[in-house]
A and B are shown apart, each in its own frame.
Chain A
Amino acid sequence: MTVRLHRRGFVTGTAALSAALWAPRPGRAAAAMDFDEARHLLSRTAFGATPAEIRAIEALDYPAAVDQLLATFRPTAATAAPGWANDGLGALRDQQKAMAKVTADGRAVQVQPPLQEQGRELRNWWIEEMLATDQPLVERMVLFWHNHFTSSLTKTYYPGSLYRQNEMFRASAFGNFATLLKSVARDPAMLLYLDGVRNVARQPNENFARELLELFTLGEGHYTESDIKAAARAFTGWSVDRETGRFVERAGQHDDGEKTFLGQTGRFGGDEIIAILLKHPRTAETIVEKMWREFVSLTPDPAAVKRLAAPFRDGGYELKPLLRALLLQPALRDPANRGALIKSPVDLIVGTVRVLGLPVPEKTQLARMMQGLGQSLFNPPNVKGWAGGESWITAYTLLQRQQILRRIVEATTVASMEGMGGRRMDRRQAQPAMEDTQQMMEPRPVEGRSLRNSSGAARLGPTLLGVDAATLSKTLLPFAPIDAVETGGAPGAVVAAALLDPAYQLK
């Protein structure tokens, strides 16, 4: 291991003195973090961190840094929405029809089918927002909810609904889980994804009810099949308008009869079911466990989960206090916890592009890399979402990750990385030829600058320019490199070695 900066020891001594004699200097807090701890906090709450971002908070004490992360909140994305974002279902159908006519006439007009094209634009929009946002923790929460209340393009066939669901997650990022759960049950993308639109009194469809209990709230083993049937009946009639694509309640399709759900009996509707679920202690525990795995470690501490879940539920499911308490957990701050989480494909790709300051005018390539690594945004593999954790790294994905990073090392703009991922990844694209036509035709900047052999700092992007070798390594890796690589101390070579080190896969 490298020799770490034990600045904290020094500061503690000063702080003891300060407390007795004078107020702490405004620049540096009494119990300031050091570079490594500041980096650790940002690695869990942002998408990678640049040396400047780490230095901006290292002088704060840890709780103050957490409060700062939670202090500002903008409920909408900074990136402009795609033009079709608020189109109704009727408008989408009309576009599809118009498109069909063009091809039926046999005209050689190359037009993207709206569904594929909108899906591509939607992914690019979100990646752009993750790269550009000034509140990365909010985007992390949006991603968390996307992986909890899953919905996919391949099932809904309605990108506009996924866009609006994403905006709903953003608006609730630091908001209230109870409110969010009620909104999710009425969310058109969810109603399409889990067949709520087919859930009618005459023949209930249990899909949403089952996942509501199994995955969204209680978890397996805390309900019976008859609870699922009762819940399904309670949500009958909650549907999506065929023209506007918005939520609609169809009274004629609602089963108004008596239901027995988790031991309670009444003529329940959907909101009553949700209210009962919110009173159940498992609901808060399910959310806390999942957030623990997202932010703290792969193995939630059951006692700590209970300690966090009770006030979360009793306090009416406010997310900000929960996030604050979670980020202050000693288990998260423990130096042994640094690098104990495996980066998701989104972490890896967005984080690398941000920290290296790579110019990426066109985001489609980034979306493809994520897909190749097993995380296609807006297309989770199933309703359980991405399993994450150790499952991100298999022989296959580890090789893919190394290949992507090797290419990033070789070419300092992502746009020049043609043929990324090889045939395999292209074949899995829904419409590879179509998706390629637009970007592949444009001339690309092929710079051919290689980080690996560069001796000067000039080849690094603005985020890393002028940073010394030791700091570069401490910025990019959670701990000392695993592989001993002779870099000669040249910044470009240090960055290249760090990106290809196994420790770079961890956060």
Chain B
Amino acid sequence: MTSRTLILVELRGGNDGLNTVIPYADPLYRELRGSIALPRERTLQLDERVGLHDKLEPLMDSWKAGDFAILQGVGYPYQNRSHFRSIEIWDTASASGQTLSEGWIAQAFQGTALSKGAGVDGIVVDTNSVPLTGPSLRTIVMQDAENFLRQAQAMKTTPAMADGGNPALRHLLNVRHEVNAAAAGLRDKLRDTPPPAFAYGKETGLPSQLDLTTRLVVARVPVVAIKVALGGFDTHANQTPTHERLLAVLATNLVILRKNLMAAGRWNDVLVMTYSEFGRRVRPNASGGTDHGSAAPQFVFGGGVKGGLYGAYPPLADLRDGDLKHTVDFRGVFASVARGCWGLQRDFGQRQPQRLDFLA
């Protein structure tokens, strides 16, 4: 059975896909985007139609090496424009009008027998753990390995004790049990792992999260997924400087992750995937920003990835209420990941999920 660790990178707030992967050859791009259009000379050409924002330049090594796939026009029908609802739709692989409580990764592992060796199946290094939440996975949220282990040691083990039908107490005792089990599994593995060979950036958030991710992967902690996040993409006003800064943070740190995992011989064993609750509206607003939109590209990296462009860029001449029409359903992407990463055939509620062939 194929077994890779998925490294899920949430771009929180709704990343502007149109200024990430730019349909530079379409004259409508400049016309519709106006003041926030990226100049042609700053677009890194990927083919005769689309290119990357030049702040993503560090990723070009990966593109040239052929382990960087770009999934274009990913979204879902009946786009919901609420941050909270739309990220929930993504995280639980639900339809727009459907509410599910379990995360999509937990759903994928329903009915499977995971090895109980490490005491933990999924690790969330940011704060949103929904994709990994469900009874099939033992997921812990951990932001600093050292502190985690030191503190876990000081915590009591849960005695076999009824929770008296109190759901709050049950939750508390479950979390305590997970911490104890995870600490027992992680302690030995992390103890002898050296720091990453290449240091991550100084910004708060993503760089330190990727540092911990690197240690976990290098220590061969056998988890199905690790989740990190970069926030700040909700660019309603004066978008350009903020968005460019975020793209630069993303690219520079992802490329360090790639170098670290290659140096450790682990690059073939991971799949790195970005996602965001939605893209942004095609036309900018009066504040030099963009409002909540629809479809956007996703990035996928890894030693087993077949690089290139997948799916079709949504045509700018055919918008719905000023928004892009998605060409790839995100549940098809998840189905491709479930098969390519974990060897699981999952359709996430779709009769015939449109799988993308980005994994060997």
Interface members, chain A 380-395 (any B CB < 8 Å):
381-384, 389-390, 393-395
A395: B residues at CB distance < 8 A: 140-142, 148, 175, 178-179, 182
Give per-residue flags for A389-429: 1 if the beta carbon is below 8 A from chain B beta carbons, else 0: 11001111111101100100000000000000011100110
Interface-facing stretch out of A60-68, A90-98, A200-208, A452-460: A200-208
Chain A nearest Cβ from B152, distance in angstroms:
6
B286: interface (CB < 8 Å)? yes
How far, in angstroms, from A505 to B179 measured CA to CA in the complex? 16
How far, in angstroms, from A339 to B168 measured CA to CA in the complex? 8
A210: interface (CB < 8 Å)? yes
A341: interface (CB < 8 Å)? yes
Chain A nearest Cβ from B46, distance in angstroms:
33
Q: Are B176 and A398 in contact, with the CB atoms below 8 A?
A: yes
How far, in angstroms, from A484 to B160 measured CA to CA in the complex? 12
Chain B nearest Cβ from A191, distance in angstroms:
13
How far, in angstroms, from A422 to B236 measured CA to CA in the complex? 35
B156: interface (CB < 8 Å)? yes
B2: interface (CB < 8 Å)? no
Chain A nearest Cβ from B89, distance in angstroms:
11
How far, in angstroms, from A68 to B84 measured CA to CA in the complex? 39
- Given A298-B168, A390-B168: A398 and B179 interface contact (C-beta under 8 Å): yes
- Given A424-B144, A428-B204: A399 and B83 interface contact (C-beta under 8 Å): no
A168: interface (CB < 8 Å)? no
Interface members, chain B 127-150 (any A CB < 8 Å):
127, 129, 140-144, 147-148
A342: interface (CB < 8 Å)? yes
Chain B nearest Cβ from A236, distance in angstroms:
11
Q: Are B84 and A340 in contact, with the CB atoms below 8 A?
A: no
B154: A residues at CB distance < 8 A: 402-403, 406
B140: A residues at CB distance < 8 A: 394-396
A503: interface (CB < 8 Å)? yes
How far, in angstroms, from A428 to B129 measured CA to CA in the complex? 20
Q: Are B81 and A210 in contact, with the CB atoms below 8 A?
A: yes
Chain A nearest Cβ from B166, distance in angstroms:
6
Chain A nearest Cβ from B252, distance in angstroms:
19
Chain A nearest Cβ from B13, distance in angstroms:
9
B166: A residues at CB distance < 8 A: 336, 339-340, 506
A501: nearest residue on chain B (CB-CB)?
B156
Q: Contact partner of B168 among A342, A396, A399, A424, CB < 8 A?
A: A342
A13: B residues at CB distance < 8 A: none
Q: Are B172 and A502 in contact, with the CB atoms below 8 A?
A: yes
A483: interface (CB < 8 Å)? yes
Q: Are B179 and A506 in contact, with the CB atoms below 8 A?
A: no
A225: B residues at CB distance < 8 A: 81, 321
How far, in angstroms, from A214 to B88 measured CA to CA in the complex? 15
A399: nearest residue on chain B (CB-CB)?
B151
Chain B nearest Cβ from A216, distance in angstroms:
13
Give per-residue flags for A260-291: 1 if the beta carbon is below 8 A from chain B beta carbons, else 0: 00000000000000000000000000000000
B171: A residues at CB distance < 8 A: 342, 390, 393
Interface members, chain B 154-190 (any A CB < 8 Å):
154-156, 159, 161, 164-169, 171-173, 175-176, 178-179, 182
Chain B nearest Cβ from A155, distance in angstroms:
10
Chain B nearest Cβ from A116, distance in angstroms:
15
- Given A202-B286, A298-B168, A339-B169: A396 and B143 interface contact (C-beta under 8 Å): yes
How far, in angstroms, from A422 to B175 measured CA to CA in the complex? 22
Q: Are B173 and A482 in contact, with the CB atoms below 8 A?
A: yes
Chain B nearest Cβ from A223, distance in angstroms:
11
Q: Are A422 and B147 in contact, with the CB atoms below 8 A?
A: yes
- Given A203-B286, A205-B287, A374-B127: A484 and B168 interface contact (C-beta under 8 Å): no
B142: A residues at CB distance < 8 A: 395-396
Chain B nearest Cβ from A394, distance in angstroms:
4
Q: Are A505 and B172 in contact, with the CB atoms below 8 A?
A: yes
B234: nearest residue on chain A (CB-CB)?
A382
Interface members, chain A 355-381 (any B CB < 8 Å):
374, 381
- Given A195-B236, A200-B286: A424 and B82 interface contact (C-beta under 8 Å): no
Give per-residue flags for B266-301: 1 if the beta carbon is below 8 A from chain A beta carbons, else 0: 000000000000000000011100010000000000
A424: nearest residue on chain B (CB-CB)?
B144
How far, in angstroms, from A228 to B204 measured CA to CA in the complex? 35
Chain B nearest Cβ from A398, distance in angstroms:
5
Q: Are A484 and B159 in contact, with the CB atoms below 8 A?
A: yes
Interface members, chain A 44-100 (any B CB < 8 Å):
none
A484: B residues at CB distance < 8 A: 159
Q: Are A394 and B141 in contact, with the CB atoms below 8 A?
A: yes
A479: nearest residue on chain B (CB-CB)?
B164
Q: Which of A384, A390, A396, A505 neighbours the largest number of chain B CB atoms within 10 Å of its CB? A: A396
Residue total for A at the interface (Cβ-Cβ under 8 A): 51
B164: A residues at CB distance < 8 A: 336, 479
A506: B residues at CB distance < 8 A: 166, 168-169, 172
How far, in angstroms, from A442 to B82 measured CA to CA in the complex? 47
A298: B residues at CB distance < 8 A: 167-168
Chain B nearest Cβ from A507, distance in angstroms:
9
Chain B nearest Cβ from A485, distance in angstroms:
9
A422: B residues at CB distance < 8 A: 144, 147
Q: Are A394 and B169 in contact, with the CB atoms below 8 A?
A: no
Give per-residue flags for B223-257: 1 if the beta carbon is below 8 A from chain A beta carbons, else 0: 00000000000001100000000000000000000
A198: interface (CB < 8 Å)? yes
A505: B residues at CB distance < 8 A: 172
Q: Are B147 and A424 in contact, with the CB atoms below 8 A?
A: yes
Q: Contact partner of B237 among A198, A336, A384, A427, CB < 8 A?
A: A198
B85: interface (CB < 8 Å)? yes
A397: B residues at CB distance < 8 A: 141
A134: interface (CB < 8 Å)? no
A249: interface (CB < 8 Å)? no
Chain B nearest Cβ from A156, distance in angstroms:
13
- Given A396-B148, A399-B155, A422-B147: A384 and B84 interface contact (C-beta under 8 Å): yes
How far, in angstroms, from A503 to B170 measured CA to CA in the complex? 11
B84: nearest residue on chain A (CB-CB)?
A384
B147: nearest residue on chain A (CB-CB)?
A422
A447: interface (CB < 8 Å)? no
How far, in angstroms, from A493 to B237 measured CA to CA in the complex? 55
A117: B residues at CB distance < 8 A: none
Q: Are A195 and B287 in contact, with the CB atoms below 8 A?
A: yes
Q: Are A502 and B173 in contact, with the CB atoms below 8 A?
A: yes
Chain B nearest Cβ from A232, distance in angstroms:
10
Q: Are A483 and B159 in contact, with the CB atoms below 8 A?
A: yes
How far, in angstroms, from A389 to B147 measured CA to CA in the complex? 24
A220: interface (CB < 8 Å)? yes
Give per-residue flags for A150-176: 1 if the beta carbon is below 8 A from chain B beta carbons, else 0: 000000000000000000000000000
B79: nearest residue on chain A (CB-CB)?
A225
B12: nearest residue on chain A (CB-CB)?
A382
B139: nearest residue on chain A (CB-CB)?
A395
Give per-residue flags for A476-490: 1 if the beta carbon is below 8 A from chain B beta carbons, else 0: 000100111000000
How far, in angstroms, from A340 to B171 measured CA to CA in the complex? 11
B84: A residues at CB distance < 8 A: 382, 384
Chain A residues in contact with chain B, CB under 8 A? 195, 198, 200, 202-203, 205-207, 210, 214, 220, 225, 298-299, 336, 339-342, 374, 381-384, 389-390, 393-400, 402-403, 406, 422-424, 427-428, 479, 482-484, 500, 502-503, 505-506
Q: What are 13 residue pairs bridging A and B, where the CB atoms are less than 8 Å apart in the complex?
A: A195-B236, A198-B237, A200-B286, A203-B287, A340-B168, A341-B168, A342-B172, A397-B141, A398-B155, A399-B147, A399-B151, A423-B144, A502-B176
